[in-house]
Structure 1
Amino acid sequence: MSKIDPTARIADGAVIGEGAEIGPFCVVGPHVSIGAGTKLLSHVNVTADTTIGTNCTIYPFASLGTPPQSLSYKGELTKLVIGNDCTIRESVTMNAGTVAGGGITTVGDRGYFMNCSHVGHDCHVGNDVIFATSATLGGHCEIGDFVFMGGLSAVHQFTRIGPQAMVGGVCGVRGDIIPFGLVNGQYAALEGLNLIGMKRRKFTKDRLAMVRGFYQKLFHGPGVFAERLERVQPLASEDPAIAEILAFIAGGKHRALCLPEDGGSHS
């Protein structure tokens, strides 16, 4: 049985799952579905066509499914889908999608979103991510699984961040970040691989050495980047992580690749 505080406002049509808790002064719109066991602690606003999975905990003043901050938006009913077991701290905002961008914003399972972090319209965020305080995504970003976003970091719209990448604090991210990449700086530059994250994902010493060798050849070998990229293509068969990085680079569309500060242009 769900538990709803008498001061909460639940619109007709909203679906509240078994064992969910809706705390004081929450507002839940008519097209919202809240999964079993999820808790809205207090003063949470959920609107648009928003689905929240099971066993999430949402802290005061979070605002989910609010209209996209896009001039193309004309009041259409669009979607936000949040997965299971997420923790969404105080004043987090997640916008619904735009019709032009596909009409949906998605967030995966087990995400941890610290206070004041933001997911913009039409973003697609993977599983097991961590967004530190005030980490911000512009619209249409793609964020892979196990990504860590440092505090006060900001990602330009249409940017991709590959799985298991780590973004340092107070970074402005203007280019795509390879899977397993580690970036830092006022305007994010690639500093190496997220070795700590890779070790947590049970990479062996041999695998780490192989991927690090590939990284050095691609970003710090002789010749211009395009030449190095062509030379390392055969290495895709040596390790799945290498294949994943090369596939990510090949799939670029809107943004240039985030490179080391020297531009990866050693000769």
Structure 2
Amino acid sequence: MSAQIHSSAVIEPGAEIGPGCEIGPFCHIGPEVKLGAGVKLKSHVVIAGDTEIGEGTEIFPFASIGQIPQDLKFKGEKTRLVIGKRNRIREYVTMNTGTEGGGGVTRIGDDGLFMASCHVAHDAQIGDRVILVNSVAIAGHCVLEDDVIVGGLSGVHQWVRIGRGAIIGALSMVTADVIPHALVAGPRAKLEGLNLVGLKRRGVPRAEIGALRELFMALGEGSFRDSARKLSDEGVEGDLAREVLDFILGPSDRSFLTPR
């Protein structure tokens, strides 16, 4: 009863609207939608499907959230989109529900910023505090871990994993996995180095950064997986270095972006 709903908005029977929500002019909310407390829809926002949006999230005009996947294999099966808390979803952003073959759930973490015209495809798993700059396209089944930044007009190929804290430069096409805390750039993106600026901004100790840099240099000797296995057996110092090794040796059959 405490929600503010404009008279021109359409709320289908069955939708759950949390306390303190603000739903602006000409929004359309489907019957399976659940809005947490304090969600704000500016105007002309369409939310469809089995979609759950966490408290404090703000969605700007002409975003289309929870539509069916853009996947020819999709046959109308029951799938979901789950969006976390305090996200900012700007104009013309699209986020689709999952597919049966991809686990059935597209998931967005907390405190993200999704700038105008971004797309998050079916079954993508997006972590906390992720930033997608204008017109970024995230393909199906991708995994973006916490604190990833993807520069404007970039694309991420389906099934790619991008590790925690990595930054992707603008106008990049990412076709292989990106190790945590990496710096990636280029039309056919290459691994340019480490995201040292991001690490320093987060207050990572110098010793941790130094250990990570040593690991990065050692990884350039041969294939990433072979080097990672050898380094893992020998042992490495620092939590960040261990995180990178675990990422490389984790479950994935894709290759990795490597240095130029």
Compared CA separation, residues 178 and 197, structure 1 to 2 (3 A)? same
Q: 1:117 offset after TM fit, Å?
A: 0.6
Question: Partner residue of 1:173?
Answer: 174
CA distance in 2, matches of 1:236, 1:24: 59
Q: 1:76 offset after TM fit, Å?
A: 2.3
Compared CA separation, residues 55 and 231, structure 1 to 2 (3 A)? same
Question: Partner residue of 2:164?
Answer: 163
Contact 1:183 1:191 in 2 (8 A): yes
Letter matched to residue 130 of structure 1: I
Letter matched to residue 10 of structure 1: I
Compared CA separation, residues 41 and 253, structure 1 to 2 (3 A)? same
Question: Partner residue of 2:210?
Answer: 209
Q: 1:77 offset after TM fit, Å?
A: 3.0
CA deviation string 1:186-232 (max 9, x = no partner): 0110001111111122111121111101111112x4x5555533432
Contact 2:152 2:170 in 1 (8 A): yes
CA distance in 2, matches of 1:245, 1:225: 11
Q: 1:252 offset after TM fit, Å?
A: 4.2
Compared CA separation, residues 247 and 225, structure 1 to 2 (3 A)? closer
The share of aligned pairs that are identical, in percent, is 46
User: Is 1:242 aligned to residue 244 of structure 2?
Assistant: no
Compared CA separation, residues 225 and 36, structure 1 to 2 (3 A)? closer
Contact 2:229 2:249 in 1 (8 A): no
Letter matched to residue 51 of structure 2: T
Question: Partner residue of 1:94?
Answer: 95
Contact 2:163 2:178 in 1 (8 A): yes
Contact 1:114 1:133 in 2 (8 A): yes
Question: Partner residue of 2:256?
Answer: 257
Compared CA separation, residues 235 and 191, structure 1 to 2 (3 A)? farther
CA distance in 2, matches of 1:181, 1:49: 35
CA deviation string 1:123-176 (max 9, x = no partner): 000000000001111100000000000000100001100010000001000000
User: Is 1:66 aligned to residue 67 of structure 2?
Assistant: yes
CA distance in 2, matches of 1:183, 1:76: 36
Letter matched to residue 113 of structure 2: Y
Compared CA separation, residues 50 and 243, structure 1 to 2 (3 A)? same
Question: Partner residue of 1:137?
Answer: 138
Question: Partner residue of 2:188?
Answer: 187
Give the TM-score normalised by the residue count of structure 1. 0.94
Secondary structure of the structure 1 residue equivalent to 2:210: helix
Q: 1:254 offset after TM fit, Å?
A: 3.6
CA distance in 2, matches of 1:143, 1:225: 20
Give the TM-score normalised by the residue count of structure 2. 0.96
5+ residue gaps in structure 1? 262-267
Contact 2:225 2:248 in 1 (8 A): no
5+ residue gaps in structure 2? none
CA deviation string 1:98-120 (max 9, x = no partner): 11111110000000000001100
Contact 2:165 2:181 in 1 (8 A): yes
Letter matched to residue 120 of structure 2: V
Compared CA separation, residues 35 and 139, structure 1 to 2 (3 A)? same
CA distance in 1, matches of 2:117, 2:141: 19
The worse-fitting range, judged by mean Cα deviation, of 233-242 and 184-193 is 233-242
Secondary structure of the structure 2 residue equivalent to 1:196: helix
Question: Partner residue of 1:233?
Answer: 232
The worse-fitting range, judged by mean Cα deviation, of 200-209 and 169-178 is 200-209
Contact 1:174 1:255 in 2 (8 A): no
Secondary structure of the structure 2 residue equivalent to 1:51: strand
CA distance in 2, matches of 1:133, 1:235: 43
Secondary structure of the structure 2 residue equivalent to 1:100: helix
CA distance in 2, matches of 1:159, 1:31: 30
Question: Partner residue of 1:265?
Answer: none
Letter matched to residue 249 of structure 1: I
Question: Partner residue of 2:53?
Answer: 52
Question: Partner residue of 1:37?
Answer: 38
